[in-house]
Structure 1
């Protein structure tokens, strides 16, 4: 059984973390397989949006501790961070396609932070998020210290990281940590609907929006205004912009192609 599965339908790639027997915790094989799946999606012109989810009861429980406590299997923390998690986060943020995290169950440690690095995060009412690192004497990785304070503020992020509190899906939505919560019964349908909607939108414009948001984290106001001008001019030269304007004038539904 492969640790990562990918299904492509209607311009949407559904990537599933597939180690349900260990709550989709990461070992080296799964981390490298996820990187390859993201690379394949980046180069596949048929794919215009990505949905990332987990199989079974969990989204992802973070690092497989059996691997790091095994003398034979342990790759070491340097390799785990520099070869596993950091490249995953970089791919999610730099891929020029929207990435939706569909958190179906517990998202702990690196699993939580990989979800929070995605462009849109939705969760099942049965899901929860936990910065589990402090429980075993580690610090949050996988860009947790970067994204979580920006999503919910320094004070709340600091408390969640140090105390290791479990956050329900409903509380995560109220905090602004995630976009929306859906009932367990409708969750996957709603998540796929959101991801499919994004896949049918002018995805070149969405890619430029993503690049602008990435840059906004470090730019000052003047730098960001300059960058917005650059990307807006680029967006205005796309076929999708012309199609969107013509569809508006002609009072019809636009047919975007991602170019």
Structure 2
């Protein structure tokens, strides 16, 4: 996988791909170039069999402060927001969400606006005590986008999602953890090592199976119980035919043999 990016630092080790947003002087604010590079890196990760887990992080003090408003303002005139979302944001969110491999957001600082949306689109969110989250769209007269209105109610419930979106308040890592937005709240000095430990555990599990588990859970958000039971049957039939399943069963039988 290529690592020659202007706005990202991309590194792969032990089947774990770490994608770091790299505009630290702007708290990793998103510009068109970064979004294009992120879409490319995620698409490559999706198709690279050597990648089993993806970590999304940010360099410096912030995870991602959202859209770089200064860059948009510098263009002058009106920006076609719908076209901008369709071209730059939606491909990133869709590829991240439908990645057939586990994704982890490592949040050490502010995740605001579309930066928060990026974290929400990941499967797992790990944050330090310095992590902060904000649905800051309303502060500039905009509606939450990049999937926030889809992910947020499912993660924290309708009432809390309304509060966060309507007020746009900044919440702490501790608050995010208490409402279920973060999977773990980790001391800052341990965030890197704990995130890597989670990624290593996931990388050692059968990647095909993990992809099917993600698919099943995603389907459950929009299906009835009877529909979901059918999906489980189909996915379980596929899982039962994989080499990973047969090896795991054989290993279990050998360990339990007297």
Q: Which TM-score band applies after superposition, normalised by the shorter structure?
A: over 0.9
Alpha-carbon shift at residue 135 of structure 1 (Å): 0.6
Distance 2:77 2:253 in 1: 61
Alpha-carbon shift at residue 171 of structure 1 (Å): 1.2
1:186 match: secondary structure: helix
Distance 1:243 1:129 in 2: 42
1:100 paired residue number? 104
Distance 1:13 1:219 in 2: 32
The question of whether the paired residues in 2 share the 8 Å contact of 1:116 and 1:178 is answered with no
2:31 paired residue number? 27
Detail structure 1 runs of 4+ shifted over 6 Å in the superposition: none
Q: CA RMSD in A?
A: 1.5
Unpaired runs of 5+ in structure 2? none
Q: How many residues align?
A: 252
The question of whether the paired residues in 2 share the 8 Å contact of 1:98 and 1:207 is answered with yes
1:228 correspondence with 2:232 = yes
| Matched ranges for 1:30-69 at <5 A | 30-69=34-73
Alpha-carbon shift at residue 73 of structure 1 (Å): 9.8
2:126 paired residue number? 122
* TM superposition score normalised by structure 1: 0.94
2:193 paired residue number? 189
2:8 paired residue number? 4
Change (3 A) 1:183 1:34: same
Distance 1:246 1:103 in 2: 39
Alpha-carbon deviations, 1:155-204, whole Å to 9, x = none?
A: 11101111111111111111011211110010011011111211111111
The question of whether the paired residues in 2 share the 8 Å contact of 1:42 and 1:97 is answered with yes
Alpha-carbon shift at residue 215 of structure 1 (Å): 1.0
Unpaired runs of 5+ in structure 1? 253-259
1:169 correspondence with 2:169 = no
Alpha-carbon shift at residue 44 of structure 1 (Å): 1.1
Alpha-carbon deviations, 1:37-92, whole Å to 9, x = none?
A: 00111111111110110000000000000122122698631232111111111001
1:107 match: secondary structure: strand
Distance 2:35 2:171 in 1: 25
